[in-house]
Amino acid sequence: MKETNQKASGAPPVLEINDLSIAYSGKTILRNATFDVQNNEIFGIIGPSGSGKTSFLKAVNRMDQLTPGMTTTGSIHFHGYDTATWRNLYSLRKRIGVVFPLPTGLPLSVYENVAFAPRISGVRQKVELDQIVEKCLRRAALWDEVKDRLTSLGSLLSGGQQQRLTIARALSQDPDLLMLDEFSIAVDPVTTMRIEDVLKQLKSEISIILVTNLVQQAERLADRTAFFLNGEVVEVGQTEDMFNGRAKDVRTTDYVEGRFG
């Protein structure tokens, strides 16, 4: 189904999904998904395991190119451009950052974890790199904890710090869209709340897609939420409605109220 929630300014969506289906070796994982993601919103995606949530993120970032047997049909438009026509996937992924469930730090120092992508993009001046690293670590609410240990291995940080380092690294290319897949799986509740605060602040700068199995997290953070179930996008709507008895589909209500999942 499709639900459009244009901003008052009339700005076009950052992401438009039209009739998207995803399959692995012929087995359909997500079928006929159609919805959009607006500028400067947190868009939640909830649903049981195996409902197609992670596969959707892979399709947006063109990871089907790296996943054997994965095929997609339909279209994904990012800022109005069909992602299937992007010849330089690096340029696409530079604008769409992804944070996976487990911290995936590079075997480098804290500083170099964040500076790595800007270096690849051609940034060479240390002063500019220093500014990028500090800005991204601050945006990820990590600067105060690591500013005196920037030369230490990122892998020596705590799990929660490593996850925030992953966010800082995703932000280092100044993306327009940040996608997070179950970011809180490997971190403690206190760190989870800190990252949630970070996301609330980032929303004023970029659009965010938040995939989560924690329905309360979607309720706390998301402006709008999509409910995925068995490869179907059951419903897309205002999060407040979906969590306050005004969902359009009884399956959505049953899921958010914990009757299954």
pLDDT for 3 = 40
Per-residue pLDDT of the chain (261 residues; tens, 9 = 90+): 334 344 444 678 999 999 999 999 989 999 999 999 999 999 999 999 999 999 999 999 998 887 889 999 999 999 999 999 888 888 888 899 998 876 666 789 999 999 999 998 889 899 999 999 999 999 898 999 999 999 999 999 988 889 899 999 999 988 999 999 998 887 788 888 988 998 999 999 999 999 998 999 999 999 999 999 999 999 999 999 999 989 999 999 999 998 876
Considering Cα of 254, then 19, then 101, then 161, what sign does the dihedral take?
negative
pLDDT for 5 = 43
Which pTM value belongs to this model?
Answer: 0.89
Any idea which architecture 15-106+179-256 has in CATH?
3-Layer(aba) Sandwich (3.40)
The domain segmentation of the chain, as residue ranges, is 15-106+179-256
